[in-house]
Amino acid sequence: MSEVKFNVFSGGTVTIDHSRCVKCETKVCVDVCQTVGNGFILGLNEDGLPHLIVDEAQVARGACVEDMGCLLACQIKGENAILFNLDMDEFEAALKEMDEKPVYARSLRENG
């Protein structure tokens, strides 16, 4: 099964896994993109699956406004088919340099 993958302006990629989309009844990613996302970059192809309706080069130069609406809507109203891979190389390097765990990785005391 195919996938849609495109670059975003800030660095990184968005991937939409069509093997999950075929099970999706809502196609909420398209609704969200065309309502809250100012870019309107997603539509449905002839098979009823989400795809880019604008040129990839335009998407990469900012037509995708990276509001992440498709990602979150798909998680709770779709089939969790969307992956944002946003580059943060320096952040990964910073984590490796840290002597202590970042707060999100710390455990709560016994009451938790």
Buried b (16+ CB within 10 A) or exposed e, 49-66: bbbbeeeeeebeeebbbb
Binding residue for another protein (CB under 8 A) from 1, 23, 25, 104? 104
Q: What's the Cα-to-Cα distance from 103 to each of 35, 87, 96, rounded to whole Å?
A: 35, 21, 14
Minimal distance, residue 75 CB to another protein, in Å: 7
User: What is d(CA 21, CA 78) in angstroms, rounded to the nearest whole number?
Assistant: 8
Minimal distance, residue 89 CB to another protein, in Å: 8
User: What is d(CA 71, CA 8) in angstroms, rounded to the nearest whole number?
Assistant: 14
Minimal distance, residue 57 CB to another protein, in Å: 17
Using CB under 8 A as the binding criterion, the count of chain residues that bind another protein stands at 39
15 binds another protein, rule: CB under 8 A: no
Which own/partner contact pairs does 42-45 have at CB distance under 8 Å and 24+ positions apart?
42/70
Q: Which of residues 49-88 bind another protein (CB under 8 A)?
A: 62, 65-69, 71-72, 75-76, 84, 86, 88
Residues in contact with another protein by the rule CB under 8 A: 8-12, 36, 62, 65-69, 71-72, 75-76, 84, 86, 88-91, 93-95, 97-98, 100-104, 106-112
